[in-house]
Each structure stands twice: as structure tokens, then as C-alpha cells.
Amino acid sequence: MRFCTVINCMDGRVQIPVIDYLRRRFDVDSVDSVTEPGPNLILAEHRNHDLVESILRRVTMSIDNHFSVAVAIVGHFDCAGNPASREEQLGHLRDAVLMLRRRVELPIIALWVDERWRVIEIPVD
Ligand SMILES: [Zn+2]
């Protein structure tokens, strides 16, 4: 059984599109989900240290126990946890990826889910 990991919003509308996308993207059977409201904002701001560490502990559990092959961070349209504009949220995704790269030694990708619940991978360099 092959796994990847997603740090996703808790919003029910994005779960299945993101899981379907990641199963194809990384050729995995299962996607371990760590969910919070607006996780791209939480990781980008790094204001709530305990919550950031809680997210990272759960990601590490997925990596250590399921040998996850990659990690994705998600932002989406109409997010209750991160009501910022699309452009601002793409900035949060970028900052979240840069933060995760310092802590996780796996490929990390950023995903945007649009108003039609389509999943778009956002390049970060
Ligand atoms: Zn959300």
C-alpha cells in the first residue's frame, strides 16, 4: 500500500477532489489527511506555534508509519478558515511550502481548489 500526505482544509467540499487528484499525481493507493480550517494560512503565518507543531506531528506520523512519498498543502475558493483572495492565498501556499521544506524531507506541492472544485497545482520555486 502506497501513501502520500495532505495538509488539507477541513471543508468537506475539497476532500474528494484533492484525494482523487493526489492518488493520480503520486500513484498512491491512499492519502493521509491532516485537516484544519485554512491550513495554508496557519503554516504561512506561523502565529500559533502549538497548532503548527500539531500539524507537523501528524504529518510525521504519516511519513514514519506509512512511508508517505510526498506532502501536499491546500488552499481553496470560499474558505471559511482563510477568507483571503485567491492571489493572497497563493502567497500563503508558497510561504507554507517554503516553511514545510525546512521541516520535511519529501517532495512538497501546493494545490489550489477553484470555484468549480477543480484542483490546480501551483508551482513554487
Ligand atoms: Zn477552507
103 C-alpha to ligand 1 centroid (Å): 23
Per residue in 43-78, pLDDT tens?
A: 999 999 999 999 999 999 999 999 999 999 999 999
- Count CA atoms within 13 Å of residue 73 on its CB side: 32
71 C-alpha to ligand 1 centroid (Å): 18
8 C-alpha to ligand 1 centroid (Å): 8
9 C-alpha to ligand 1 centroid (Å): 5
The structure's pTM equals: 0.97
CA-to-CA separations, 94 to 6, 16, 62, 66, 86, in angstroms, rounded: 15, 23, 22, 26, 12
Residues whose Cβ atom is located within 5 A of ion ligand 1: 9, 11, 79, 81
As a whole-number percent, the residues of the chain with pLDDT over 70 amount to 100
Question: Does position 125 have pLDDT exceeding 90, yes or no?
Answer: no
- Count CA atoms within 13 Å of residue 109 on its CB side: 18
Q: Give me the residue spans of the domains in the chain.
A: 3-122
Domain 3-122 has CATH 3.40.1050.10: yes
